[in-house]
């Protein structure tokens, strides 16, 4: 066992079927053992496609040794209550299971070989038993014993296969964590990265998307993203690197795979800018709207770059807003909000009334009236390109949480004795 304990024998609470066999059965059958081994060796490649190869070299020697060792142990059992496998035979059979994994075959191939070997063994040994007048009851008990023995062989090999698979998965996971660490430094040479990627069983794409998902939402993520993704679990999140295919179909497929997971996707990056993409993904998470989060859709950082820029220095943006929006400060809150909304739409649409009216859901004449108010408040500054740019920047920033907080703090710095003059 992997934990160092000795497993219980297959038949620990009932008598094994070979106890009913006469002990002399072994003496009769043992001289024929080499011929039975050859029959099995010849039959298995024909019955199990995975072993359809010449029985020679290391493969042939290992197969003969395994079959001969298993049959020799089986003939030690008749008339006894011994467990199916001795410690030596158990190691041999476990080695077959772990060897199957290392060879890249599924466990089905070995189990199929065991079943085929059991049929050939029963056919050959039952014929020898009848030829030597051992009786039909011996043949029946012999068949039951062979089936029970094969069950034990299969169980031990399957356990070793699963253990080897688990060990390999753990090693690959450790190597993938190391690879992600190298990518996040952004300073590793490409040749070293490709070597580390090969050891982690991952093909390093030219460009990739960085996805971050809360660890509690990650079950099944590897399967949804497929073999092309590198998925690494960290303390509080799971980071996935996905090849960037750059098509609308690929984007839709990834959106579907990440739906409902609270995922954030960084902009496409080459292997040297993975850390930058991850940082932008984290920043984009704070810029996403509550509606988008509630819908379960992944947040794409490339759709929130302006919000990320505006939120990078909220204090500076708040100061700019305080300066540029000073003409609106003394208005009533509702009037100020209405004119800010109109001014932002007017700046976005380059002063065209119709698009502004459509966006705000108001009449074009109302747009004209509000713009006239704005011109009265701001004067000729509205004609200055730099002022218009800074106004739009300030108005957009006012909608980000970080800048709103900074603006509120700036508003508290009103000098004692100041009064706000209300305007209609």
- pLDDT for residue 291: 64
Mean pLDDT of 56-78: 82
For residues 245-268, give the mean pLDDT.
90
Q: What is the pLDDT of residue 366?
A: 93
* pLDDT of 423: 36
> Do the strands 299-300 and 264-265 form a parallel or antiparallel pair, or are they unpaired?
parallel
Tens of pLDDT along 353-366?
898 999 999 999 99
Written as one string, the DSSP assignment of 252-306 is: HHHHHHHTTTT-EEPPPEEGGGHHHHHHHHHHHHHHS-HHHHHHTPPEEGGGSHH
pLDDT of residue 293: 65
Tell me if residue 241 falls in helix, strand or coil. Answer: strand
As a whole number of angstroms, the distance between CA 355 and CA 375 comes to 19
Task: Give phi and psi for 66, each to the nearest 5.
Answer: -65, -45
What dihedral do alpha carbons 398, 403, 404, 410 form, nearest 10°?
A: -110
Tokens 């500054």, located at residue? 381
| pLDDT at residue 52, as a whole number | 74
Best CA proximity match to 155, nearest among 97, 241, 86, 70:
97
Question: What mean pLDDT comes out for the span 307-331?
Answer: 78
Q: What is the mean pLDDT of residues 50-70?
A: 75
What pLDDT does 1 receive? 44
Please tell me the predicted confidence (pLDDT) of residue 399: 63
Task: Residue 287: name the closest of 308, 269, 264, 317 by CA.
Answer: 308
DSSP code at position 280: H
Ranked by mean pLDDT, the top range of 5-9, 97-101, 148-152, 184-188 is 148-152
Domains identified in the chain and CATH numbers: 17-168 (1.10.490.10), 205-309 (3.30.70.270), 313-411 (no CATH)
Mean pLDDT of 49-71: 75
pLDDT > 80? residue 420:
no
CA dist 283 and 312 (Å) reads: 9
Confidence of residue 56 (pLDDT cuts 50, 70, 90): low
Share of the chain above pLDDT 70, in %: 85
Q: State the Cα–Cα distance between residues 251 and 117, nearest whole angstrom.
A: 51
Percent of the chain with pLDDT over 90: 29
Of 86-90, 309-313, 406-410, which gets the smallest average pLDDT?
406-410
Contact predicate 172/201, CB 8 Å: yes
Average pLDDT over residues 246-254: 89
Q: Provide the pLDDT confidence category of residue 147 given band limits of 50, 70 and 90.
A: very high
Q: Is the pLDDT of residue 232 over 90?
A: no
**Average pLDDT of the chain to the nearest whole number:** 82
C-alpha separations of 265 from 228, 230, 305 in Å: 16, 14, 12
pLDDT at 108 over 90: no
Q: How far apart are CA 302 and CA 296, in angstroms?
A: 18
What pLDDT is recorded for position 422?
Answer: 37
């Amino acid at each position: 066992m992997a934990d160092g304990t000795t497993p219980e024998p297959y038949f620990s609470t009932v008598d094994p079927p070979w106890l009913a066999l006469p002990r002399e059965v072994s003496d009769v059958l043992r001289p024929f053992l080499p011929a039975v081994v050859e029959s099995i060796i010849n039959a298995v490649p024909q019955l199990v496609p995975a072993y359809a190869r010449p029985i020679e070299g290391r493969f042939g020697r290992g197969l003969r040794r395994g079959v001969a060792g298993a049959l020799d142990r089986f003939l030690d059992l008749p008339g006894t209550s011994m467990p199916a496998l001795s410690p030596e035979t158990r190691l041999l059979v476990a080695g077959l299971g772990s060897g199957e994994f290392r060879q890249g075959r599924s466990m089905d191939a070995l189990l199929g070989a065991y079943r085929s070997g059991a049929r050939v063994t029963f056919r050959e040994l039952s014929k020898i038993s009848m030829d030597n007048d051992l009786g039909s009851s011996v043949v029946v008990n012999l068949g039951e014993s062979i089936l029970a023995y094969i069950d034990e062989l299969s169980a031990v090999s399957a356990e070793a296969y699963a253990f080897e698979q688990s060990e390999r998965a753990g090693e690959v996971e450790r190597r993938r964590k190391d690879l992600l660490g190298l990518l996040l430094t952004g300073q590793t040479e490409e040749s070293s990265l490709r070597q580390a990627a090969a050891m982690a069983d991952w093909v390093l794409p030219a460009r990739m998307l960085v996805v971050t998902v809360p660890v509690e939402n990650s079950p099944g993520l590897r399967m949804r993203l497929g073999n092309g993704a590198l998925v690494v679990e960290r303390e509080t999140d799971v980071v996935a690197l996905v090849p960037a295919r750059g098509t609308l179909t690929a984007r839709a497929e990834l959106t579907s795979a990440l739906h409902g997971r609270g995922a954030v996707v960084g902009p496409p990056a080459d292997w040297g800018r993975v850390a930058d993409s991850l940082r932008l993904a984290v920043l984009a998470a704070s810029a996403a709207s509550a509606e988008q989060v509630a819908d379960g859709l992944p947040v794409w950082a490339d759709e929130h770059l302006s919000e990320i820029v505006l939120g990078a220095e909220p204090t500076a943006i708040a100061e700019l807003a305080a300066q540029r929006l000073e003409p609106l400060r003394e208005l009533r809150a509702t009037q100020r909000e209405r004119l800010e909304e109109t001014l932002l739409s007017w700046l976005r649409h380059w002063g065209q009334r119709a698009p502004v009216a459509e966006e705000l859901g108001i009449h074009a004449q109302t747009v004209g009236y509000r713009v006239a108010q704005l011109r009265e408040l701001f004067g000729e500054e509205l004609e200055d390109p730099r002022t218009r740019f800074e106004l739009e920047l300030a108005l957009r920033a006012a909608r980000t949480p970080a800048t709103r907080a900074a603006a509120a703090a700036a508003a508290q710095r009103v000098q004692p004795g100041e009064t706000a003059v209300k305007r209609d």
